[in-house]
A and B are shown apart, each in its own frame.
Chain A
């Protein structure tokens, strides 16, 4: 299946039988409207953000290992057998689209963002993106330009930080009702 006509595509990847269209963030909404209206992707299945901070390097939360490979002298070390391919930017946001036609198909639209970089909201294209984008903002800190109600959804309103970022530590959260007070 060719998607050359989709506006703003910078790269097309095929892996595990899935098609990934990497789209220029500035033209995301344009690409989404095209996919919805011309290609029949009327259903937004899922919106998944991912943080690649420390991808293939050392010292990331919960990850022990070295970029060069396994450290055989450190007992219990869980390193990489090879360094993974580098990623273009820190964050990716993947939009998993589904076309409910006689020959159903899926496609993944992906945008890459740096820290503090914004991307346009697709709530106007698929209303279901509302909570998905709020979750992506809450958990990973992606900012969606034009979202009508971009507030936290799973964490408290006054929570600090974005838990699914790789530089967010495990444990160490302040305990509210401890006996010391």
Chain B
């Protein structure tokens, strides 16, 4: 039933010249009198936020395209320079609001590296567990919305069925459905609540069945296949040259995953496979997402196995210069009260230095570049946003595409505009 499509990727490079991110109308290929310039966005339902595409159309074919971003620029990096490190923790989660937990994780890991603070193993495993849950959350939203845009409306409701379970799990742990601020420098904000493991295990079973459901719906859908197979091609060389990462890179035949190749947390202690496809089209990007969801469930199960053996262990480092003292101590200990007061008002200081730390977020390489001058506020925070880089590939992917493919291609690049514009 499910067709296994054989697409052939183009040879060499087709990155537009001289500007790699803008496809200009070629007068030799198109009769300039027939060119119609159409503006998509910034508020267009299929742009996943506020993305503006200026498209030059020759009939139905795309002759030229350029992407305009910046409509959601909120100045996160400037704001974070004004806040203490301790208060900064809330910002990264809001940069990419779909993979909030993973963005928080990247920042926290970077600060911990500068602080050279040890983290209890329970916190490390829980971070991995929540990180993978968040990857599922992000992939589900991607799947639901991209399929919706191509007409598979029911897909959204199936994807949001499982997505709801994930936000409920997040709420159970951190008290909020999104943006929990659960990851702190030194560990976690609180212990893992009782009953979490059971609910999470039940969810793993449901999720595996869910992924099978999605594939049954989409892989047998002729419209879905015709609109995705062979559309939006990106060759291996072009993907690397354009700095693509995550599912886009793996769909273009590059066997690369930071979790496996440059492990952080304890990814080297869990078993998982890295799905790689070589078609470089929208369909293969979809397949990578689906396989990654299965692998995430595998990782979550292994995390839960480990976490269950760590009952009663500490979840945050015992470093009173960085970590808030337990609440109950404030009523009895002067020392704790002072520490609490100092961290909340002045913040902790982070040693002078600069680092770049990258993690494999659901969208690809998420990098954090930090500069500290030794004070309580960051001197410079810079995020290497994977979707910002992903949108640079729009022009290359759109070469020889039709206007209907535009929706599928933009969807497959999985840009979250909050992260693109920061």
Contact = CB atoms under 8 A, between A and B. Distances in A.
Whether A and B are associated in the same complex: the answer reads yes
Interface of A: 15-16, 18, 20, 42-46, 48-52, 55-56, 61-63, 65, 76, 78-82, 84-85, 94, 96, 98, 100, 104, 106, 108, 123, 126-128, 130-131, 135, 139, 148-149, 152-156, 163-164, 168, 170
Ranked 10 nearest A-B pairs via Cβ: A128-B243, A127-B20, A46-B384, A62-B82, A154-B70, A48-B369, A48-B382, A148-B18, A154-B73, A50-B380
Given A62-B82, A104-B262, A130 B392 contact: yes
Nearest to A128: B243
B256 interface: yes
11 contacts: A42-B241, A45-B367, A46-B356, A50-B380, A79-B375, A94-B354, A130-B19, A131-B21, A131-B388, A131-B392, A170-B78
B20 A45 contact: no
A45 B365 contact: yes
Contacts of B352: 84-85
B15 interface: yes
Contacts of B371: 50
A18 B368 CA distance: 14
A139 B349 CA distance: 26
Given A43-B243, A44-B243, A128-B241, A50 B15 contact: no
B113 interface: yes
B114 interface: yes
B353 A16 contact: yes
Contact of A15 (B82, B349, B353): B353
Interface of A, secondary structure class, is: loop
Contacts of A130: 19-21, 392
A100 to B, nearest CB: 5
A108 to B, nearest CB: 6
A16 B358 CA distance: 14
B69 interface: yes
Interface string B343-382: 0011101001111101000000101010101111101101
B340 to A, nearest CB: 16
B75 A163 contact: yes
Given A44-B243, A45-B243, A55-B379, A18 B388 contact: no
A18 B373 contact: no
A128 B384 CA distance: 12
Nearest to B75: A163
A65 B375 contact: yes
A123 B84 CA distance: 35
Contacts of A65: 375
A164 B78 contact: yes
Contacts of B261: 100, 104
B353 A50 contact: no
A98 B357 CA distance: 12
Interface in B13-65: 15, 18-22
Nearest to A55: B373
A153 B69 contact: yes
A94 B19 contact: no
Interface in B162-210: none
Contacts of A148: 18-19
Contacts of B153: none
Contact of A100 (B241, B242, B254): B254
B149 interface: no
Most chain B CB atoms below 10 A, which of A42, A154, A170: A154
A42 B240 contact: yes
